[in-house]
Amino acid sequence: MSGRRVRWMSICLLLFFPALSGCAPPPEGGGAKRGAMDKFVCIYTGAGAVLAKDVEVALDRLAVLYRELDERDIREGGLGSCALLIVPGGYTAQCVDALGEEGFQRIREFVAGGGGYIGICAGAYIAARRVEVPGRPAGLGVIEIENERRAGKGLKRIRIAKGEHPVVEGCDGELEIWYQNGPMIGAGQGVEVLAVYEGGSAAIVCSTYGRGRVVIFSPHPEGSLEGGVDPRRVGTLRLLENAIAFASKGEGRR
């Protein structure tokens, strides 16, 4: 193959598959490190939260102190010990049924009072006013988004849309992130779009609810144990740490 042809093929590849920029490694002593908050990062590990372990492994890598809460803990006031709640990926309908309206109300009150909420995949679906499962039951309604259900699994490209925002600090251009049936997000009033998929649908968004901060991920910044995706290797661990540092600082929390 001639040198001219090789150069031409290289140019075509760059045009159709632009180089990934990704995220810089998390800074030393970042805001989500152990001891930086006076309350726990809490993870919902109850019914439906089958991907909670992926988040826990990522938090261990970040040296973040966390506590597990199931649906009963949430209904019985367990959020009082939390700086923020992470609802991970899993089976959305099971999460809805397990938490019920009482659990949802506890979460709403927690966020409205200044607590943080990070919803990943299933946690993104339940955050909307209506949950895209059969019957479209009422969701948390802590952020003005509309979700469209999609199926699929693997690495997907996203583009950072608002690079100056703290949640995507240190991330530029495009990066690959693990995707597993997450929603295509339509952003409503007061919602900031931080990253988008190649088709233009929002992938990462944030907003406020009362005095609290809400960060929503359609894909999985924590990577995937099942898929063998290490978030340090693909560069998305920084997104999770940024989101924790940001969401834990709602009004009245420092």
Cβ atoms of 62 and 241 within 8 Å: the answer is yes
Per residue in 39-73, pLDDT (tens digit) is 899 999 999 999 999 999 999 999 999 999 999 99
Q: How far apart are CA 247 and CA 244, in angstroms?
A: 5
Q: Which amino acid, residue 133?
A: V
As a whole-number percent, the residues of the chain with pLDDT over 70 amount to 85
Cβ atoms of 41 and 80 within 8 Å: the answer is no
> Which CATH topology does 27-247 take?
Rossmann fold (3.40.50)
Q: What pLDDT shows up at residue 6? A: 36
How far is CA 91 from each of CA 30, 140, 218, rounded to the nearest angstrom?
Answer: 32, 16, 14
Per residue in 111-149, pLDDT (tens digit) is 999 999 999 999 999 999 999 999 999 999 999 999 999
Query: Quick check: 190 pLDDT over 70?
Result: yes
Q: How far apart are CA 192 and CA 200, in angstroms?
A: 14
All structural domains of the chain with their residue ranges = 27-247
Q: Which two tokens stand for residue 185?
A: 């997000």
| Phi, psi values for residue 174, rounded to 5° | -110, 150
